[in-house]
Structure 1
Amino acid sequence: MAARNRMPPWHENVRLANGRELLIRPIRPEDAEPLRAAFVLLEPDEVRQRFLHQQKELGADQAQRLTHPNPRREFALVAAEPLPPGEALVGAVARISIDDNGKDAEFAILVSHYINGMGLGRHLMRRLVRWAKGRKVQRIYGDVLENNLPMQSLAQSLGFSREFSGEPGLVRVVLDLPPPKPKTPPPPPLIG
């Protein structure tokens, strides 16, 4: 097996049902401007479902914050064209952020209408859950608009339950993660 074919951690080539090839990888600072440029391609409902309010553009400060996650507490993936960061059109963003308590983490996913309905949201959510388990997070949650039935259905199919969010028009979906399995010590040596 040639080492040159190995990809860096959290990188993966995927082929969607429509034949489009994407690279899933951690977000990079160079993605800020392509994200801002692609934001205008999103439909108003896509923006509202992700940001929970209308917004006409992704501001420079928002893009800067999104593309510079704190590696101790945050993780963000993009599904982009297989081009260098900064040149690649980004079609989906998934992020998770550990709360101050260190036990809970909030997720958010945005998949462009150009590539939604092809299993990408499910794949990205599974990647976020995997990252959270590695950080010993106990609970993942996200606030979803009541009328965002596809996201609620996806969450339910992955084992999330619904909770009262405390905000009108929102539903909180929650996934309790099993505690890490304790490592079993090796048996004592036999003395003969």
Structure 2
Amino acid sequence: MLEPDEIRQRFLAAVNELTPEMAEKLARPDAKREFALVAAEPLPPGEALVGAVARAAISENGREAEFAILVSHYIAGMGLGRHLMRRLVRWAKGRKLERLCGDVLEHNLPMLALAQSLGFHREPTDQPGLVRVVLDLTGRDSHLHDQPQAA
């Protein structure tokens, strides 16, 4: 179960209920433009306890993707966010994209620290309270390595 603050950090706004359209989009990513990972504990058939979700979607310009990661506070600090981010980066590099970026609430210090440790830099946004983190995938600035690192 996700806390309201965790949902707000993922959606960057309070979300009381998923519309059928939102649920469909989250459950069925477009394989040509989107990539999604879910870490879940299996329960009885047809059920699962979701602990983390990571997504990336290629922008309209086709040169970058925007990411979002949500890790439940119950399992935060175990390195799962780092693992999921590395998988998103590998996917984006495999698609020959130039950049991977995401908007992070400025008080989400764990996500900002993770992004910085993986070579993301900050870019200004016009939205108060948000920080845009960007990873250059062309090799000019990226120092993300595939070797595991401590979270």
Which band: TM-score by shorter chain? Answer: 0.7 to 0.9
1:66 to 18, 26, 30: 26
1:87 to 47, 63, 83: 47
Q: Deviations over 1:79-134 (max 9, x none)?
A: 01146883222111100000011111000000111111110000000000001111
Q: CA deviation at 1:68?
A: 0.8
Unaligned runs of 5+ in 1: 1-40, 180-192
**For residue 100 of structure 2, what is the aligned residue in structure 1?**
140
**For residue 176 of structure 1, what is the aligned residue in structure 2?**
136
Q: Deviations over 1:133-177 (max 9, x none)?
A: 110011000000111111000000000000102211100000000
**For residue 119 of structure 2, what is the aligned residue in structure 1?**
159
Q: 1:113-124 alignment to 2 at 5 Å?
A: 113-124=73-84
TM-score for both structures, normalised by structure 2? 0.86
Q: Secondary structure at the match of 1:116?
A: coil
- State the Cα RMSD in Å: 1.5
Q: Which runs of 4+ in 1 moved over 6 A?
A: none
Change (3 A) 1:84 1:134: farther
**For residue 87 of structure 2, what is the aligned residue in structure 1?**
127
Change (3 A) 1:62 1:109: same
Point out which structure has higher relative CO (alpha carbons under 8 A, 6+ apart). Answer: 2
Larger radius of gyration: 1
Q: CA deviation at 1:59?
A: 2.8
Change (3 A) 1:85 1:111: farther
Q: How many residue pairs were aligned? A: 139
Identity %: 73
Q: Secondary structure at the match of 1:57?
A: coil
Aligned-partner residue type, residue 43 of structure 1? E
